[in-house]
Structure 1
């Protein structure tokens, strides 16, 4: 394979971006609404909110309640549940919310790592009480009842808003420093990739046939086993800084816990809410995959959404550095609060592993890793992802194209 072939294939496949391929899958992933969804939403509102919701009968649900699908599809479905103005009891209970959000659980989608069906039951109330996530009124096996917040999702345009970016960076730092009562197993991403490599070996001939059938030029231009081995070896080196106490960038001693934090693990624009009020508050949502692991994962997931597509390149360094500087500032404030003056060698903020350059390097590595991992999530999911085969391979080939070019630039920059 020549460098021109790999770069050209990547640009061709990713013109318009991986996101454009993903947009075409909305109908396939959205799925259908549960039977009697109105009655189910009302029952949950009556159970956990009470007040006027308790006096609204199931028989009159069609006349007194609006249930509207908002978002969701693969692991959950989100509905607005609203009492209508023609409900005669509204005026008698002004303290009771008339709009609520119902989050119904869909199929539990496990990508072979840290999935715990009870994890979001723990994380959602915790984050709600801390003001980092929506207020939770109640949780049951069918889903959750949440406070309604008029909001929009965070976008790339918001990255130029220094105040909003600062809020988000500080919120992520606060999230990362939480102590949550969930498994502290930190190597799930390494386990997932190792398992993916074993599956790849077993299915190699089948996958080669599919790559040829769907004209996956980027797949055809690489040795996927070699790429997975590179990712696994890089992750092992990265994770070794947790266990050896060595900064792999500078070979100096550092604290083992600096990179090991509570991660959101799905820290993307769709899970970041910007509320429609004068304060422009931020809230995080969807904690199904939250787990302890590498802080770079969340940073990489966020900035992977802002990868430049033509030509393919990392997001602007200045944007990432600004976010990372705010993240480091808040992390230092939280971690160094009990460290006295004159003890700089003990301060989180003074260690080289926590410099802007070091964290930026982590961020870029995980942007690259994401584009390889997303391919394995889809191809190796044993049909758990509800996409037709052709669309699945188109998404994966576009993702691999971006991976090829970003990895080339990342390695060239480090030389």
Structure 2
């Protein structure tokens, strides 16, 4: 989910577009939750506020809230209702630039499954138009949590380990990151001359001097090496297949702070870890890009977000990443070592803290490059749902390449 928008509508102030959205939201509430709270008889339209919370390339999210008696000038609805019933989240599907993801059916599989497992929000209903979800007061996981709240960091690492070990009935054919990188290179070779003109037009000095195709080719070769890395048992047996299987997992693939909720019992207005109660819990959201792929991507996305905001690169340091990885390994060992095998998951060198730290650093670098070439292709394709204008988009690409160059210089000695 991307841009934060807080448009609030009631039936008396809707524009034509707002009216359509409002009717869609209310229709879903009444269809999948129903009951006395959402029936037309007990709760007329003017007793309901629909507020847009976020809007992205794949969907827009709205909060539907029944007004209290003190909020309206009409007679109070005396029907008893739980707080869950009075506030619902509606996720309306939008046109998406899916980048190779098969999003048309995955929602029907993943959303209910992850909800039942407690990894995602409770879902009341799902249909081609969208989803009806429980509303959770929450704030987003942040820098302060990562640095100072070990309890939440440990919980997040465990949550990611649980997510990665899931076996769900979606395609496991290939690593989508590698597929995307290869297709992007082919596309960039076609539009190379146009890109140089744009780099010059928007004064993108990093991009003008950057050997884009060579760097993407390096990423492809590195990804292929990463997924075929070998480990050796004490008896000297090559376990390439096992190593690849350990790294090929169900990935969230948008593992950023915006999609990591710190759920609280209050109104969720706290902005730092100091405001979290001891019983705060974590929940993941936004599974549009969830696919089988390289586990390192989720690590890279998470830490890349902190690093970019804290350039020059001094946070998170190795100690913080090691702590997160160690918590992840402990939970993964608990989940996986009970499964019979010749060598336990936790005993394989590829799953050591040192190995996974290198893995994390590699994907921090890779993610910066991916941000850049994905945005460039979207601009060239004249993608209608781009949330930013062309100039701003190229400025983001310029910054990403600057980060990539600095990160690669810092981490270049890592081994995959």
TM-score range normalised by the length of the shorter chain: 0.7 to 0.9
Contact preservation (8 Å) 2:138, 2:262: yes
Contact preservation (8 Å) 2:68, 2:76: no
Whole-angstrom distance in 2 between the partners of 1:219 and 1:265:
26
Whole-angstrom distance in 2 between the partners of 1:387 and 1:92:
45
Query: What does 1:32-111 align with in structure 2 at a 5 Å threshold?
Result: 34-56=18-40, 60-62=44-46, 64-86=47-69, 90-95=77-82, 97-111=85-99
**Alpha-carbon offset, residue 269 of structure 1:** 0.4
Q: 1:202 to 1:337 in 2, by over 3 A?
A: same
- 2:113 is the counterpart of 1:126: yes
**Alpha-carbon offset, residue 114 of structure 1:** 2.5
Contact preservation (8 Å) 1:266, 1:301: yes
Contact preservation (8 Å) 1:262, 1:291: yes
Comparing 305-314 with 176-185, greater Cα deviation is found at 305-314
Q: 1:228 to 1:70 in 2, by over 3 A?
A: same
> Cα deviation per residue 1:305-360 (whole Å; 9 max; x = unaligned)?
11154424562111111110000000010001244xxx8x6110011000011111
Q: 1:201 to 1:314 in 2, by over 3 A?
A: farther
Whole-angstrom distance in 2 between the partners of 1:58 and 1:192:
51
Whole-angstrom distance in 1 between the partners of 2:89 and 2:152:
25
Query: What does 1:16-415 align with in structure 2 at a 5 Å threshold?
Result: 34-56=18-40, 60-62=44-46, 64-86=47-69, 90-95=77-82, 97-111=85-99, 113-159=100-146, 160-241=148-229, 253=239, 255=242, 256-277=244-265, 278=277, 279-307=279-307, 309-312=310-313, 315-339=316-340, 346-381=343-378, 382-384=381-383, 385-412=386-413
Whole-angstrom distance in 1 between the partners of 2:26 and 2:152:
36
Whole-angstrom distance in 2 between the partners of 1:285 and 1:357:
29
TM-score (norm 2): 0.85
Whole-angstrom distance in 2 between the partners of 1:213 and 1:224:
17
Question: Residue 183 of structure 1: SS of its match in structure 2?
Answer: coil
Question: Residue 50 of structure 2: SS of its match in structure 1?
Answer: strand
**Alpha-carbon offset, residue 56 of structure 1:** 2.4
Question: Residue 44 of structure 2: SS of its match in structure 1?
Answer: helix
Whole-angstrom distance in 2 between the partners of 1:394 and 1:352:
41
Comparing 188-197 with 306-315, greater Cα deviation is found at 306-315
Q: 1:123 to 1:413 in 2, by over 3 A?
A: closer
Q: 1:215 to 1:68 in 2, by over 3 A?
A: same
Whole-angstrom distance in 2 between the partners of 1:246 and 1:200:
38
Structure 1: runs of 5+ lacking an equivalent: 1-21
Relative contact order higher in (CA < 8 Å, ≥ 6 apart):
1
Comparing 303-312 with 357-366, greater Cα deviation is found at 303-312
User: For this pair of structures, how many residues does the alignment match?
Assistant: 379
Q: 1:408 to 1:91 in 2, by over 3 A?
A: same
Whole-angstrom distance in 2 between the partners of 1:218 and 1:52:
60
Q: 1:192 to 1:314 in 2, by over 3 A?
A: farther
Question: Residue 173 of structure 2: SS of its match in structure 1?
Answer: coil
Contact preservation (8 Å) 2:101, 2:291: yes
TM-score (norm 1): 0.85
Whole-angstrom distance in 2 between the partners of 1:134 and 1:348:
30
CA-based RMSD: 2.6
